[in-house]
Amino acid sequence: MSDDKYTTPNVNALIIEKLNAYPKAVRELAIQAIKLSEQYSEAAVADQLQTILRKLAK
Amino acid sequence: MKMDGKIRVATDAKYKELYNNMKGNGVVEDFHALFFVCACLGFKNKKMTPIKKRDDRFWSGTITPSEWSCYYAIILEQNGFDFTKVSDEKEIMEVIERYANSGMEILIDEFLEDFLLPSSKKTIPQLDNAVCKTLPKQFVHFIFELSEPDRLE
Amino acid sequence: MKIENFRQFRGIQEIEFINPSLPEGNVTVIFGENGRGKTGLFRAIMFCLFGERRLSQDGGVSHKEIQLVNTSALEATEGAPVRTSVDLEFMHDKKIYNLRRAIRGMIDAGQIIEEEDEKKLIVTIDGNSKTLATSEIDPTINNILDRRVKDYFLFDGEKIERLTRANIEQQKEISAGIRNLLNVDALETSIRIIGRVAKTIDRELSDSSNEELSRIMNRLSDNEEEQNRLQQQIEGLANEIRLARHEIEKTDNELEKFNEIRHLLERRKSLERELNTLEQQAKDFLAEMRNQVCKAASLIVAPTVINVFEHIEHQKQKGEIPSEIRHDLIERIINEKRCICGNDICEGSESYNHIMDWLKRTKDIKTQDVALSLWRHLGDVRNHFGDDASIVERNLQQYGNITSDIANINRNLENVRNQIGTSERQDATKLEGHRKSLQDNIISLIANDRRAQEQFEQLKQENDRLRALLKEEKLKVGLNDEMSRRSILVRDTQDALTEVYNQFTCEIKKLIGDSATQIFRELLDKEGRDNLRTIVVNDDYSLQVLDRYKKPFLANISAGQRQIMSISIIAALAITASQGKKIEIPLFMDTPFGRLSYEHRQHLINIVPTFASQWVLLATDTEFRRQEAQLLKNGGKWAKFYLLHSTGEGNTEIRQQDIDSAQVILRDEEEYQ
């Protein structure tokens, strides 16, 4: 396991590292989902994700 | 014996459900076995009944050599050992079908009645699963008793 | 640590966890009866570090219900504010931290109210001190240790106990523990939200004009709902079954108390086992019966078989089958009117008549073949009649024997059950009846569970199929349809996040398992080490111990070994929470010595200090006696010894003791017999 603490920023770094294995659009959406979930309410995040989704799916 | 596998053997349509039940409940391994039992029963009672509503039941390919030889023996004995009567297996099976048909009537009357759904007896006989737990054993017992084993000793 | 009016500790009291004259010493023993406040000291540390009042052992008790202010101090001031504080001085990463947290408590309208008072942190590096801003205090401390894992450093007896039993509590404890370690809240939330978004898009998509898509999605949606319902049902059933089994165990334990029926209980157990075996055999026999059907049926037509066989046999003997002269040869002789010997044969002559006779008797080739093959087969059938009859008869008999044995056993069981039921004590009767209805209940619950699982499995397969179909449809449509593309992307993302989550949890389960195994094997005695090889955290967060053949062995380990196992798991969690390094937070441990063998105790005393920087043993007199004190002393790490002394009015005083005095204060093992 890495030397980094299990605090929020670094767990997410590990997660982001794992997401590198996936296609660009999936990765992008996933990372945004995680980052937004840390800060906003579920409803707000859902809305924002819909917007991002539209952009990515074009 | 040719033992033709391409003959369609039939029973009366009203027994279709019963054949399925007997196989489904593990009483017989397959349809040809039940047919054989019925044929033997019908022959023993010297009764042949033509099928009213013909319904294909199984392929003759599933009939075992032992069963075939019994069918041949039945036809020969019935016809004074006239071998011309066993030259066409299709004809053989047509006769056996009639024995099996009456055999099934006898089987129901003398044995299966208690295991049927009451409402179905007169129409399309069906097994009542609730009482069929030990049917496999009782079926074998019934058949065995019929063969008067003492006479063989 | 300096505490002021904190819980049972009235006034200002100090406790030091290191001994300057024994620098290698890192073991502190705090000795006192239960309720005197041993856990209170752990609470003080947690309160000081995180402002937290609650510990995991508090369960459902609310934050507000945990009072920190010392009651008698409040009473002494007649309700005027009382200051409660904890000062902690500790070292981390070459820095010295002086942390203080204080609250003010008072009585208002008969209620005790506590308010935050002071929060202060001074950090000293190389002799230079700096007081941090209040807002920086919590983040700084959280950087040293995440508050979510604070409870890992208290090994309380109940937690150790919870982990020894293989049940839902154990799984929950471990899954909560691991989740805390991982700190994957954001990931979990995002999976949930993405799922929501996916559902919304699918709903929109299903409203769209594509009929096929709509149909599939509606079907999927219905199935998923049904699956959820089934899942809940299955969980509910599992719970009920577990409870019922637990009830049966309890009932059996209760029944055991009645000495007079103990032998009856033994008998019942063995009868039930026998019954199981026989019922299985009966089932097998019944399945065999259908193989007997044809054999039995051919016996019905045996006379005919024998008759025809003998007829052909007779013909064979007479030379008619196969005929001594071929039929077609005779026909030729007649047609040509010439014998093979060369003589002419005239119609109507004697020779001619003989030959015509022969012709009548012989059969054509085809018929002969049939007759011969029939003769062979009938011979076979006939030869088996005797054996077949025996076999069928024997099988019928054996089945009969088994069913009669089963009936016997059932009668005996009934007898035994009645005896248990009608024993003099009414309670035993009730218990027996209760037990029977629990068993019946379990049988029907298991049947329900099986049905539900089958249905669930079927739905799952159908759903997998539907999802694949759906994706195909979406792809077909998606080339021109943006909404389908969105739908595919969001589902793929959901899958990706779920996979990552699973990978994480898998990795950490392995990590915890490995770490626990290491400690476990060091703690075990030689016999245990020979056989017990690995601790595994299963997918469902339950625990398992594998033996040297890599087979599950948990059900068979002793109580002492179970304790060792739980301690190992808790230690693994604590170590992982400290990023795999030595645990720096003092490890507070309720002494589990009571259940452990001498060797186990020895190992514990030697090994814990290797993975914990400081070890605080919370001891009561039933577990910590002269023997344990001696072991600790021999280890050379015992730095401090404190007694918690009751001073009346529910208050406790911390009294430092000389370690050597332990031999005098503590009792001997024998005094407990």
Nearest CA among C161, C8, C141 for reference residue C70: C8
DSSP letter assigned to residue B7 = P
B26 and C CB contact within 8 Å = yes
Residues C269 and C405 in one domain: yes
A13 and C CB contact within 8 Å = no
Q: Is the dihedral of CA A30, A31, A37, A43 positive or negative?
A: negative
Identify the residue whose tokens are 């694949």: C468
Q: How many Å apart are CA C608 and CA C637, to the nearest integer?
A: 11
Residues C328 and C282 in one domain: no
Q: Do chains A and C touch (3 or more CB pairs under 8 A)?
A: yes
Give the least confident one: B35-44, C204-213, C235-244, C583-592.
C204-213
pTM of the model: 0.53
Q: Provide the pLDDT for residue A3.
A: 33
Q: Provide the pLDDT for residue B76.
A: 92
Answer whether residue C160 shows pLDDT above 80.
no
Nearest CA among C33, C31, C30, C40 for reference residue C9: C40
Q: Is the dihedral of CA C101, C106, C112, C116 positive or negative?
A: negative
Answer yes or no: do B69 and C386 touch at CB < 8 A: no
Residue of C nearest to A52 (CA): C486
Answer yes or no: do C377 and B69 touch at CB < 8 A: yes
Residue-number span of the structural domain to which C351 is assigned? 324-362
- Residues C529 and C537: beta-carbon distance below 8 Å: no
Answer yes or no: do B73 and C366 touch at CB < 8 A: no
This model of the complex carries an ipTM of 0.91
Could you give the count of Cα atoms lying within 13 Å of C93 in the half-sphere of its Cβ? 7
Looking at the domain assignment, is residue A27 inside a domain? yes
Q: Provide the pLDDT for residue C146.
A: 76
Residues C161 and C217 in one domain: no
**Per-residue pLDDT tens for B65-85?**
999 999 999 999 999 888 888
Residues C480 and C521 in one domain: no
Q: Do chains C and B touch (3 or more CB pairs under 8 A)?
A: yes
- Residues C30 and C117: beta-carbon distance below 8 Å: no
Answer yes or no: do C184 and A11 touch at CB < 8 A: yes
Q: How far does B26 lie from chain C, in Å, by closest CA?
A: 7
Q: How many Å apart are CA C618 and CA C380, to the nearest integer?
A: 85
Residue-number span of the structural domain to which A38 is assigned? 22-57
SS3 assignment, position C28 = strand
A24 and C CB contact within 8 Å = no
What's the domain count of chain C?
5
Angle between helices C598-611 and C482-523 (to 10 degrees): 130
Looking at the domain assignment, is residue C76 inside a domain? yes
Q: How many Å apart are CA C547 and CA C553, to the nearest integer?
A: 6
Query: What CATH number is given to the structural domain containing C640?
Result: 3.40.50.300
Looking at the domain assignment, is residue C18 inside a domain? no
Q: Provide the pLDDT for residue A15.
A: 84
SS3 assignment, position C152 = helix
Tell which of C374, C402, C424 closes a domain.
C424
Q: Provide the pLDDT for residue C209.
A: 62
Name every chain B residue with its beta carbon within 8 A of the beta carbon of C302: 147, 152
Looking at the domain assignment, is residue A51 inside a domain? yes
The burial class, CB within 10 Å (0-12 / 13-18 / 19+), for C166 is middle
Q: What is the DSSP string of C333-367?
A: HHHHTB-TTS-B--TTSHHHHHHHHHHHHS--HHH
C189 and A CB contact within 8 Å = yes
Looking at the domain assignment, is residue C15 inside a domain? no
Q: Provide the pLDDT for residue A4.
A: 33
Residues C253 and C265 in one domain: no
Tell which of C500, C525, C544 closes a domain.
C500
Map C48-79 to HEC letters: HHHCCCCCHHHCCCCHHHCCCECHHHHHHCCC
- Residues C290 and B28: beta-carbon distance below 8 Å: yes
Answer whether residue A40 shows pLDDT above 90.
no
Q: Count of CB contacts below 8 A, A vs C?
A: 105
Answer whether residue A56 shows pLDDT above 60.
yes
Q: How many Å apart are CA C364 and CA B75, to the nearest integer?
A: 19
Name every chain A residue with its beta carbon within 8 A of the beta carbon of C490: 29, 53
Looking at the domain assignment, is residue C593 inside a domain? yes
B28 and C CB contact within 8 Å = yes
Q: What are phi and psi of C533, to 5 degrees?
A: -105, -40
Tokens (6 digits) for C201: 């898009």
Q: How many C-beta atoms lie closer than 10 Å to residue C414's C-beta?
A: 12
| Amino acid code (one letter) for A20 | N
Minimum-distance CB partner of B83 among C296, C297, C367: C367
Residue of C nearest to A58 (CA): C482
Residues C623 and C656 in one domain: yes
Angle between helices A42-57 and C185-207 (to 10 degrees): 60
Residue of C nearest to B24 (CA): C290
Q: Rounded mean pLDDT of C533-547? A: 88
Looking at the domain assignment, is residue C218 inside a domain? yes
Answer yes or no: do A5 and C579 touch at CB < 8 A: yes
| Amino acid code (one letter) for B126 | Q
Q: Provide the pLDDT for residue C423.
A: 60
Looking at the domain assignment, is residue A47 inside a domain? yes
Identify the residue whose tokens are 């087969």: C377
Share of chain C above pLDDT 90, in %: 20
Residues C343 and C410 in one domain: no
Residue of C nearest to B149 (CA): C389
Q: Best mutation site among C279, C281, C283, C298 for testing chain B: the one with the most B CBs within 10 Å?
A: C298
Q: Provide the pLDDT for residue C108.
A: 82
Q: Provide the pLDDT for residue C453.
A: 86
Q: How far does C486 lie from chain B, in Å, by closest CA?
A: 49
Answer yes or no: do C293 and B146 touch at CB < 8 A: no
Residue of B nearest to C381 (CA): B66
Give the least confident one: C346-350, C580-584, C665-669.
C665-669
Q: Provide the pLDDT for residue B39.
A: 96
- Subunits with at least 3 CB pairs below 8 A relative to chain A? C
Could you give the count of Cα atoms lying within 13 Å of B61 in the half-sphere of its Cβ? 3
Q: How far does C351 lie from chain B, in Å, by closest CA?
A: 27
Q: How many C-beta atoms lie closer than 10 Å to residue C118's C-beta?
A: 12
Band (pLDDT 50/70/90 cuts) for residue B1 is: confident
Beta strand C587-590 with C543-547 is: unpaired
- Residues A7 and C143: beta-carbon distance below 8 Å: yes
Average pLDDT, chain C: 84
Map C585-622 to HEC letters: CCEEEECCHHHCCHHHHHHHHHHHHHHECCEEEEECCC
Looking at the domain assignment, is residue C664 inside a domain? yes
Q: How far does A33 lie from chain C, in Å, by closest CA?
A: 5
What's the domain count of chain A?
1
Answer whether residue A5 shows pLDDT above 50.
no
- Subunits with at least 3 CB pairs below 8 A relative to chain B? C
Looking at the domain assignment, is residue A11 inside a domain? no
Answer whether residue C664 shows pLDDT above 80.
no
Identify the residue whose tokens are 């094997």: C521
Q: How many Å apart are CA C92 and CA C109, to the nearest integer?
A: 44
Q: How far does C381 lie from chain B, in Å, by closest CA?
A: 6
Q: What is the DSSP string of C455-511?
A: HHHHHHHHHHHHHHHHHHHHHHHHTT-HHHHHHHHHHHHHHHHHHHHHHHHHHHHHH
Give the burial string for C62-100 (b: 16+ CB within 10 Å, else e): eeeebebbbbbbbeeeeeebbebbbbbebeeeeeebebb
Q: How far does C214 lie from chain A, in Å, by closest CA?
A: 21
Residues C453 and C589 in one domain: no
- Residues B19 and B126: beta-carbon distance below 8 Å: no
Residues C549 and C657 in one domain: yes
**What are the residues facing C320 on neighbouring strands?**
C323
Tell which of C376, C405, C424 closes a domain.
C424
Looking at the domain assignment, is residue A8 inside a domain? no
**Per-residue pLDDT tens for C15-56?**
998 777 777 788 999 988 776 677 888 889 989 999 888 877
Residues in contact with C89: Cβ distance below 8 Å, sequence separation at least 6, in sequence order: C1, C96, C97, C98, C99
How far lies B53's CA from each of B10, B15, B107, C138, C398, in Å? 10, 10, 19, 89, 41
Q: How many C-beta atoms lie closer than 10 Å to residue C61's C-beta?
A: 12
C12 and B CB contact within 8 Å = no
Looking at the domain assignment, is residue C21 inside a domain? no
Residues C344 and C468 in one domain: no
- Subunits with at least 3 CB pairs below 8 A relative to chain C? A, B
Q: How far does C355 lie from chain B, in Å, by closest CA?
A: 22
Q: How far does B97 lie from chain C, in Å, by closest CA?
A: 16
Residues C410 and C477 in one domain: no
Q: How many Å apart are CA C547 and CA C528, to the nearest integer?
A: 10
| Amino acid code (one letter) for C156 | D
Looking at the domain assignment, is residue C23 inside a domain? no
Answer whether residue C672 shows pLDDT above 50.
no
Residue of C nearest to A50 (CA): C197
Answer yes or no: do A53 and C182 touch at CB < 8 A: no
Q: How many Å apart are CA C604 and CA C587, to the nearest integer?
A: 13
**Per-residue pLDDT tens for C57-82?**
676 677 777 889 998 888 888 768 99
C285 and B CB contact within 8 Å = yes
Answer yes or no: do C182 and A11 touch at CB < 8 A: yes
Q: Is the dihedral of CA C278, C284, C285, C286 positive or negative?
A: positive
Name every chain B residue with its beta carbon within 8 A of the beta carbon of C292: 140
Residues C135 and C226 in one domain: no
- Residues C114 and C70: beta-carbon distance below 8 Å: no
C482 and A CB contact within 8 Å = yes
Nearest CA among C486, C406, C466, C450 for reference residue C200: C486
**Per-residue pLDDT tens for C457-476?**
888 888 888 888 888 877 77
How far lies C601's CA from each of C214, C531, C631, in Å? 66, 19, 8
Q: How far does B123 lie from chain C, in Å, by closest CA?
A: 26
B73 and C CB contact within 8 Å = yes
